[in-house]
């Protein structure tokens, strides 16, 4: 991967992204093993096009899994802090409504 990145003039992360997008053919013998990239695949038109886009600052997006959840919560979601604040306000209102004994 380092050699491919050096030959293309990009970072290893760009090479990983190209592999994930299936723009750059690569093989792994087993999961977590190093990627095997044939030198001739670095000259493929699809790879050259993506590398040109990276060098021009117009890179394509990262492949996102459909199973991946969003970073932010749904709009109707209530955080534990909000629940605690609402409960405290309700207690305060109840306490304000109860009559206090006079001394």
CATH number at residue 12: 1.10.1660
Q: What phi and psi, each to the nearest 5 degrees, are found at residue 36? A: -105, 120
Residue 63, in any domain of the structure: no
- What is the structure's pLDDT at 83? 74
User: Tens digits of per-residue pLDDT, 68-87?
Assistant: 666 665 555 556 666 777 88
Question: Is it the case that residue 63 has pLDDT exceeding 70?
Answer: no
Whole-prediction pTM: 0.56
Classify burial at 4, counting beta carbons within 10 Å of its beta carbon; exposed 0-12, middle 13-18, buried 19 or more: buried
- What is the structure's pLDDT at 44? 93
Helix (H) and strand (E) counts in the chain: 4, 0
Residue 26, in any domain of the structure: yes
How far, in Å, CA of 10 to CA of 39, rounded?
15
Residue 22, in any domain of the structure: yes
């Amino acid at each position: 991967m380092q050699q491919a990145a050096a030959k293309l003039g990009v970072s290893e992360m760009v090479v990983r992204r190209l592999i994930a997008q299936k723009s750059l053919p690569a093989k792994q013998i087993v999961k977590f093993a190093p990627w095997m990239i044939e030198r001739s695949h670095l000259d493929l038109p699809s790879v050259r096009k993506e590398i040109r886009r990276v060098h021009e600052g117009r890179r394509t997006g990262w492949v996102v899994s459909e199973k991946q959840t969003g970073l932010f919560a749904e709009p109707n979601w209530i955080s534990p802090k909000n629940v605690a604040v609402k409960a405290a306000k309700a207690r305060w209102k109840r306490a304000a409504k109860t009559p206090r004994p006079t001394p």
